[in-house]
Structure 1
Amino acid sequence: MSYQPRHSRAVISFFLGLTVSMAGAAPSMAQKADPTVYGALPSVSEAAISPDGKTIAVLQNAGDATGLMFYDLDNPDAAPKGVGLGETDARDIVWANDDRVFLLASQSSQVSTLSGIDTIEFFRWLTVSKSKEKAKILLGNEPGFFVANAGDLLSVMPNDPKKAVFARHSSSGKRTTSGGPSRLKDNTVQPFVYSLFLVDAENGSQKRLETGDEYTIDWIVNADGEAVMRIDIDPATGGKKVYYRKDPKARFELMDQNIWNFDFYSQADKPDTFFAGAAANNKAAVFEVNLANGDRSIVYSNPTYDVADMIYDPRKAKVTGARYVGDLSRSYHFDETQRATQDSLRNAIPGSEPMIISKSADGTRMVVKVLYTDHPPQFYLYDKTAGTLNMIAASYPELDGKIVAKKEKYDYTSPDGLTIHGYLTVPAGGSKENAPLIVLPHGGPESRADQEFDYQSFFYAARGYTVYEPNFRGSEGYGVSFRTAGYGEWGRKMQDDISNGVKKLISDGIADSDRICIVGSSYGGYAALAGATLTPELYACAVSINGISNLPGMLGDVARDSSLGEQYWTTRIGSRYRDNDQLTAVSPASNAETAGAPILLIVSKDDVVVPQWQSTQMRDALKQNGKPYEIVELPGEDHWLSTSTARTEMLQRSIDFIDKHIGQ
């Protein structure tokens, strides 16, 4: 498959300190938004610059096909090189050296296992050569069992640019008859463990460096790719054990329990110190922890929001900054010079949030992803030496510069005193009075909505609807107590936060009480079904996309897959044994007789996160109770609707259903 450059418009260039106007004219509301435009995968989804700063690797999408393309920055007129990836779902790219990148991708497949025919989504790292335009799969399956996960890229070796270190689950290489997940022909098993591997980026060969045990969950390596920390789960308590070795050739020693509550990320700059995460003043923060004397100090915290994730440089095997989500994602770089660069970029493009997502080894050239509240992201190349910032691609060329809607903050105080943050996506030129409303709760539920463009809410707004995205209790980003306030509250206080937000919009005169539809995916699909069955008076229709209808059944599925997963979800939802009656009481399939509004069920047949039976059981319950419903099945599709075909069909079928029940 061949790919051609897909620039949205001519490259623009300006010196930092100047500004450009990115706003475009709002289209007439009479011109209905096309679901194929909004449902398309982003034209460019990722971009990264080579260590020498001469090449940009770009993940480009055309229909349901993806290509990894290489653009020569010193010869912009040259045709790009690259490889077609077909309908593989490409997730991330990291440069290994000036010729090769590591590419993270996934694909679902039906395979025969001991339990029958199962659908498994296989994640894999590939190495792709720019010069040879060829891809090679790394760390594949092993004899005797399937390996679904790709592993984590920890280090791109600075002293040997052809090598990299990955942490990955695999067989231990040791046989036992005492049980385990990998049964062999002679009835022995190999325990499934999390180990370290040295991988050759040129030929794909691998060498085991360290072998974890069945309780190992994480490794930290130094700049030379040598393991310096191993983190295990304590099977007796469910907590963590931290092992450290100052000399990579020595034995690991168990550290004192006073540091076990930290989540360790990487070595820091001083001897025996590590960057780690823990709560500070109720917010997730980044610490520097000294293992020799027990000292710890805060490197970065935000008074309002949790730290969401780390900025990790595999060339250094070190954390270099942190990200948090306010209304838009923002970065905090530990290096003062890098922080100044980030501030300059923010000043150069007013009303946006520029994110440095890749930089050359010397830091003089950077790829910047720019986020907006009123149109899709754009990708820029910043040349620090030349002082120029050039737009290299728009994520949605057909929407670039067109302001069809804008997200606004909408917060309220719950009856028990919590501030429930949220956002309204309002049609450009539309009225905020007595408008038809789509309620769009997010998935997770330990996730959150923000103010950035997203294809679903902007599509609905472009079709004339106001869209409400609430960050109910249990959402992440607002502190530990806000997140844990959602524990055990599925269908109860978490659902109340959504309902009370809707009631506030009605009382504020924003929403028409007779024209409200609730739509959601995954946990949001559960919330949509719960809204239709637990508060049927609020909604004129509901759409569930890969939603959950049976909570005890969900916990049972999780328990069969993973004891750690069962512990995680039991803490957040409840026990399928002790709390069965309470969980059944808020399971939509058990309350189908109370459903008042028509319900649309959209289900991915290859979903490995929420199995298809959760939707079909809801369908059967609605049918048995004589309730109106429709169901749409998406063959070959995953939980996240990773293809443009699936996204487009979801948008088309949902908007037809919504228009039918609450349209003008």
Structure 2
Amino acid sequence: MKIRVALRQAMLAVTLALGAPLMAQDGGVPPLSAYGELTAIEDMVLSPSGERIAMLGTFGGKRMLVVADRQMKNLGNFTIGDSKVRGFDFVTEDLLMVHSSATGRLGPGFTQDKFEFYQAFLFSIDGRKTDQVFGGKADLVKATFGYYGTRLIEGRPHAYFGALEMKQRIGSRLEYEFDHGRPALYEVDLVSNGARRIAPSPPEGKDRDWLVGSDGTVLATLDNDENSGAWTLTSRGNVIAKGQSKTGGAWLISIGRGGKSVIYGTLDDATDSVSWYEVPTDGSSAPAEVFADEDVARIYTDGETGELIGYRKQGSDLAPVFFEESRSTRAKKIRRAFAGLNSSLVDWTSDFDHVLVRTDGNGDSGSYFNVDLAALKADPVGWERPAVAAAHVGQISTVSYTAGDGLELDGILTLPPGRQASDLPLVMLPHGGPHSQDTEGFDWWAQAFASRGYAVFQPNFRGSTNRDEAFVQAGYGEWGRKMQTDLSDGLAALAAKGVIDPKRVCIVGASYGGYAALAGVTLQQDLYRCAVSVAGVSDVSLMSRIENRDGAKVRRRSLERQLGPKERYKEISPRGHAAKADAPILLIHGRNDTVVDYDQSRKMADALKDAGKPYEFVELKGEDHWLSLGETRLAMLKAAVAFVEKHNPPN
């Protein structure tokens, strides 16, 4: 009890300290750049000792990776520019590893013309070392294809990556050319940047995955047949499990507690149910089901050993569950200290004495704290959107409602700051995925619309991950059907409560949400004044063909399981119903999108033009599916807000 009270008091002091930088910005409505640009702090991690913090963000107008001590003294920085950083971490106290990606073009003979290549770079804090993993290997593609963790071997850090091996060009000893796209497993000495193969690539038609043990050797190998779905799990050369799943195969999850078992997952073809199993690496007993009564959304593993140390349940409760009681107790204390906010544990030291916590929610546009549990102290170390003051954050709440078929649903409602929840114009904002979810946190897109006077509703329609696995599977085969009416049922519920004016609604979304936006004004009628689709799917048949271009039958069967019978794809594709569009449509798409093909928007634009329907089309040059670049992300937001304001004025 004393610890809890002391920690709450420490957090109260931090909250008061935060008032100065935030409230100094209070006044008029923040510009759209306050929401649409990349955040001032994008991410941060702790060093192994907890004495250093690495932060990715914009400092003095420059996007950099900065390393500081606990007193926030700058120890080193690296200019990042427009690089698409996907993650970074301390390898040692003095060495950082940064993962980034870049969109590259592929030559003739490949099944796709663009691919998102991932790379890993090493930076020493003193600036003396800057290396690219596989950068000096002529016989390897200068990219990584899967990251399998870092291990400390005889005092030296080693990392494990999938790598594509090149073959010698005929007639040349020095030149290499592409061979095949099946990665082998390589160990990289992170001090010397030397690399060696420790496991071969799979044969053609097989997909292979690995788990690396604490000693740096391959503990488990899983092979999936891409056509039959047959799979085999081996450890140290011995088969410890095998089976078949025509729609999902099997997948590795983690090393079990103690390092002497492997946890893997399978999909039952008959019931569509997912099960996890644990099996000893020595094969001394048969696989046993684990977490049978839990729907696990995320697992936590030990960074040094790869062993499972905890998990988070699927749903809106983000509280982690750790197997070590003291760690679980400390995590609960931290969450209680930040009660009322959406808080998450970003990083921590192995002893859990130092924890980085990120918060957002009502009155908080995104903040980072460095929590010292031994000293019962929490220091603010960064703000994501300092121009968005507490008073500018629209009120966020969860609204429960019932679908037309009786299914219980909910969604996140964001209200415009300073306005009563009565007769408001609405922006319907369904999430992407579709297997994802929205929670009571600060959403930059929702808050941007709210700042302009709109209520924003983000429905967790069937197929979302905010509930159990059965709720996810309730969305199978429901694209354009019940997944779509779940949105309009939410609209009706808000109208019945008097919160919104049902005659002043636009629908906006990205990826699957972009599909839902297009479907809302083509497959449905008389609901929305306008629709904005960002990187949305317009033709389900085209998406299916692109997804299945590698010919893998397991993937094709899995996609059909989620979408429903392919003979129905035409009737759920907005492109084929363009002539029925009953509201203006804005299409926005990044040219470098490798997830939803740019042609999805281009072909929808052509269909709308042929049908004589009002539309606009904005191309984001150089942008990918995730809106990774600050300039084009802001361009997207400005175009979307202007379009909604034109067709559905907030006043």
Q: Distance in 1 between matches of 2:66 and 2:488?
A: 46
Aligned residue pair count: 628
Matched, 1:587 2:573: yes
After TM superposition, give the deviation of residue 383 of structure 1 in Å.
Answer: 1.8
Q: Distance in 1 between matches of 2:297 and 2:406?
A: 25
- Residue 120 of structure 2 is matched in structure 1 by 125
Instruction: Report Cα offsets for 1:581-613 as digits up to 9, x if no partner.
Output: x21112111111100101111111111111211
Instruction: Report Cα offsets for 1:17-76 as digits up to 9, x if no partner.
Output: 314247979999994441111012111121111112221111113699632111022x64
The 5-angstrom pairing of residues 204-215 of structure 1 reads 204-214=193-203, 215=206
Which AA in structure 2 matches 1:541? C
Instruction: Report Cα offsets for 1:372-407 as digits up to 9, x if no partner.
Output: 344222111122332211111112222253442122
Q: Distance in 1 between matches of 2:611 and 2:249?
A: 49
Equivalent pair of 1:288/1:299 in contact (CA under 8 Å): no
Matched, 1:569 2:566: no
Matched, 1:379 2:352: no
- Relative to the length of structure 1, the TM-score reads 0.86
Matched, 1:37 2:34: yes
3-state secondary structure, aligned to 1:17? helix
Residue among 15, 38, 44 paired with 1:47 = 44
Instruction: Report Cα offsets for 1:353-390 as digits up to 9, x if no partner.
Output: 44332223443322222343442221111223322111
Which AA in structure 1 matches 2:43? E
Q: Distance in 2 between matches of 1:511 and 1:655?
A: 18
Matched, 1:56 2:53: yes
Q: Distance in 2 between matches of 1:132 and 1:94?
A: 16
Residue among 562, 580, 603 paired with 2:589 = 603
Matched, 1:243 2:242: no
Q: Distance in 2 between matches of 1:618 and 1:63?
A: 42
Equivalent pair of 1:328/1:452 in contact (CA under 8 Å): no
Structure 1 residue runs without a partner (length 5+): 1-13, 177-183, 246-250
3-state secondary structure, aligned to 2:164? strand
- Residue 86 of structure 2 is matched in structure 1 by 91
Q: Distance in 2 between matches of 1:634 and 1:607?
A: 10
Q: Distance in 1 between matches of 2:141 and 2:43?
A: 29
3-state secondary structure, aligned to 1:96? strand
Residue among 453, 456, 459 paired with 1:470 = 459
3-state secondary structure, aligned to 1:481? helix
Q: Distance in 2 between matches of 1:471 and 1:318?
A: 33
Equivalent pair of 1:285/1:301 in contact (CA under 8 Å): no
Q: Distance in 2 between matches of 1:317 and 1:116?
A: 34
After TM superposition, give the deviation of residue 480 of structure 1 in Å.
Answer: 2.2
Closer/same/farther in 2, CA of residues 64 and 562 from structure 1, 3 Å limit: farther
Q: Distance in 2 between matches of 1:371 and 1:275?
A: 33
Identity in percent: 29
Moved more, 24-33 or 155-164: 24-33
- Residue 171 of structure 1 is matched in structure 2 by 165
Instruction: Report Cα offsets for 1:496-523 as digits up to 9, x if no partner.
Output: 2112222222233222121100000011
Moved more, 140-149 or 421-430: 140-149
Which AA in structure 2 matches 1:126? F
- Residue 338 of structure 1 is matched in structure 2 by 327
After TM superposition, give the deviation of residue 285 of structure 1 in Å.
Answer: 8.1
Closer/same/farther in 2, CA of residues 28 and 495 from structure 1, 3 Å limit: farther
Residue among 626, 636, 642 paired with 1:640 = 626
Instruction: Report Cα offsets for 1:421-451 as digits up to 9, x if no partner.
Output: 2111112332222210100111111111121
3-state secondary structure, aligned to 2:92? coil
Residue among 269, 286, 291 paired with 1:294 = 286
Q: Distance in 2 between matches of 1:86 and 1:460?
A: 28
3-state secondary structure, aligned to 1:470? strand
Q: Distance in 2 between matches of 1:494 and 1:244?
A: 42
Q: Distance in 2 between matches of 1:192 and 1:544?
A: 33
Equivalent pair of 1:158/1:315 in contact (CA under 8 Å): no
Residue among 614, 617, 621 paired with 2:603 = 617
After TM superposition, give the deviation of residue 195 of structure 1 in Å.
Answer: 2.7
After TM superposition, give the deviation of residue 277 of structure 1 in Å.
Answer: 5.2
- Residue 149 of structure 2 is matched in structure 1 by 154
After TM superposition, give the deviation of residue 538 of structure 1 in Å.
Answer: 0.4
Instruction: Report Cα offsets for 1:324-353 as digits up to 9, x if no partner.
Output: 454353322221111111122122223124
Which AA in structure 2 matches 1:171? E
Q: What is the root-mean-square deviation of aligned Cα atoms in Å?
A: 3.4
Which AA in structure 1 matches 2:590? S
Instruction: Report Cα offsets for 1:144-177 as digits up to 9, x if no partner.
Output: 99676542132332533332223x152387999x
Equivalent pair of 1:325/1:450 in contact (CA under 8 Å): no
Instruction: Report Cα offsets for 1:465-488 as digits up to 9, x if no partner.
Output: 111111111222422222122222
- Relative to the length of structure 2, the TM-score reads 0.88
- Residue 228 of structure 1 is matched in structure 2 by 219
- Residue 180 of structure 1 is matched in structure 2 by none
Q: Distance in 1 between matches of 2:165 and 2:412?
A: 46
After TM superposition, give the deviation of residue 212 of structure 1 in Å.
Answer: 3.5
Equivalent pair of 2:590/2:624 in contact (CA under 8 Å): yes
Moved more, 110-119 or 211-220: 110-119
Residue among 293, 299, 303 paired with 1:310 = 299
Structure 2 residue runs without a partner (length 5+): none
3-state secondary structure, aligned to 2:477? coil
Matched, 1:461 2:455: no
Q: Distance in 2 between matches of 1:64 and 1:529?
A: 37
Equivalent pair of 2:23/2:389 in contact (CA under 8 Å): no
- Residue 483 of structure 1 is matched in structure 2 by 472
